[in-house]
Amino acid sequence: MTRILSGRSGRLASFTLAAFLGSTALGFAAGTLDVAIIGEPPTLDPMMSTADVVSIVTQHFYETLYTFDENWDVAPLLAEALPFISEDGKTYKIPLREGITFHDGSAMDSADVVDSLKRWTSVAARGKSVAGMIDSIEAEGPSVVVIKLNKPYSPLLSLLAFSNSAAIVVPQEILGEKLSATVGTGPYKLIEHAPDRYIQLGKFDGFKSRSEPASGSSGARMQTLDEIRFVPVPDANTRVEGLVSGQFAFADSLPTEAYARLADNANVEPVLLRPFGWPIFAFNMRKGLGTDLAIRQAVQAALSPDDMLFAAFGDDKYFVVDAALFPEQYPWNNEEGKELYAQANPEKSKELLAKAGYKGEPLRILTSRQYEFHFKMAEVAKVNLEAAGFTVQLDVVEWATLIERRGNPDLWDIFITHSPFLPEPTLTNLYGENSPIGWANADRDAIYARLTGESDPIARQAAFAELQKLVYTEVPFYKVGGFNALMGKKQGLTGVAPTPWPFFWNATLGN
């Protein structure tokens, strides 16, 4: 979250407004939108990362066959239409749009799509999750791609539509273990990447928009801005200051205590997404303390989500203490396992530690201050866990470093992350056996097979309720609660849809 033409991303120890002001003298176009993001993306290859900061940036220059509309229904993007699906649910025939041009001037055809999808199934976390179910991906003429499965897999279109660990389409010529260039089909193309300073995008003159009305990230994508510049700003308060002072027209992931200040400022306005998502303590089930069920249950028994959420967000209008893995307005909402949530029971935790034969080994919690609410929850969790008898080691690193380290099971026991509430449970990569936590056993596999193999919505919801119950008994991860996310924008900035992954085609800068 690597296709970077202009250089590898570095690591930023600190960012000041003076540093940003220094970059404004480089001669950027007057119609440039400056966006403060939480840090330097660890890659510009969205196949290679599930980090939101990668999705936010790369969706502007890479596109997928499908996307989501404002109701989170799958809609065609590079595909001409929704696919023909065989009666047995195992063959998907996907018609492609014609006249689509890549940023290098070459025309997109079925060969590019086939080879892009094959790479996705071999390198992307979400692609690998479905690879074993795919018998073949083949072209049927220049404008049709056929995917044949060995068994029905109901979330396939949602996976193909998601901008995170994305099934992007790129020219055959740049494909490899690493992409050799940054070449997509999107409305904007990469102009310059100065690591830790900015990622500058400009209009792609050969872009061909869809004609349908804009809805979510589907439909028309208009190039209303000359340029978009994403600026890594790891410190949340600096993002607030940059927005208020006018350096940024949009700022992502702001601390909730800044809401009143933004609301009272005539030049900016808060953007509150509710409900947004859920903070997660994810366990390492491959190596170390997290491989012991009693240890994981001891952590679950000790934690007080009320205290963690108050510390992180300060006011209960920004969060909800809730066991369900989906909020009430989602069809996936259920109450299975809720008796094991919010226990805040150090004595029970001590009993479980004794059962595990725990000898005081450090419980290594990997977190970052670039998402300040992660760090605040980690501090409270440390207190909860130490009261139960754990020795706790907080490893506080940059977000890009956390993403890198969580791929090495020797380096951590818990990492703290969060996810927006997604339209499809299987888009949450924690359930897949290829996720960093490595959760796989016979019970999980059987339930997951039903969840992904059923096409009937009611049957799928029942399977997910069983999966939620298993989450609380096996504790592969811990849902802290639900939260609302704060972003901010300049007054007069219009055309930015409220979404966890803000995009800026169709955006217009007012005075």
Tell me which CATH code domain 1-61+186-267+491-511 carries: 3.40.190.10
The values of phi and psi at residue 372, to 5°, are -60, -35
Nearest to 178 by CA among 3, 404, 403: 3
Write down the CATH superfamily of domain 62-181: Dipeptide-binding Protein; Domain 1 (3.90.76.10)
In which residue are the tokens 């359930």 written? 431
Cα dist from 476 to 236, 413, 435, whole Å: 29, 11, 11
| pLDDT at residue 204, as a whole number | 97
Strand arrangement, sheet containing 134-139: 84-85, 91-95, 144-149, 134-139
d(CA 501, CA 159): 16
d(CA 505, CA 511): 18
Cβ atoms of 223 and 207 within 8 Å: the answer is: yes
Can you give the residue ranges of every domain in the chain?
1-61+186-267+491-511, 62-181, 275-484
d(CA 230, CA 216): 21
**In angstroms, how far is the first alpha carbon of the chain from the final one?**
34
Instruction: List b or e across 260-279, with b for residues whose CB sees 16 or more CB atoms inside 10 angstroms.
Output: eebeeeeebbbbbbebbbbb
Tokens of 504: 């800026």
d(CA 500, CA 511): 26
Query: pLDDT for 83-125, tens place per residue?
Result: 999 999 999 999 999 999 999 999 999 999 999 999 999 999 8
Planar angle of CA 403, 433, 331, nearest 5 degrees: 95
> HEC profile for 353-364?
HHHHCCCCCEEE
| pLDDT at residue 275, as a whole number | 87
As beta bridge partners, residue 74 has 68
d(CA 370, CA 255): 10
The residues, any chain, with a CB within 8 Å of residue 212's CB and separated by 6 or more, are 75, 218, 219, 220
Query: Does 275 sit behind a cis peptide bond, omega within 30 degrees of 0 on the bond before it?
Result: yes
d(CA 46, CA 52): 10
d(CA 171, CA 185): 9
d(CA 453, CA 461): 12
Average pLDDT along the chain, 511 residues, taken 10 residues at a time: 29 38 41 94 93 95 96 95 95 97 97 98 92 96 97 95 95 93 97 96 96 96 96 94 96 92 95 93 97 98 97 92 94 96 98 97 95 95 98 94 94 96 89 84 92 92 97 97 95 92 93 64
Planar angle of CA 420, 425, 428, nearest 5 degrees: 55
Tell me which CATH code domain 275-484 carries: 3.10.105.10
d(CA 101, CA 481): 44
The residues, any chain, with a CB within 8 Å of residue 104's CB and separated by 6 or more, are 171, 181, 183
Specify the amino acid at residue 162: F
With residue 188 as reference, give the H or E element that holds it. strand 188-194
| pLDDT at residue 511, as a whole number | 64
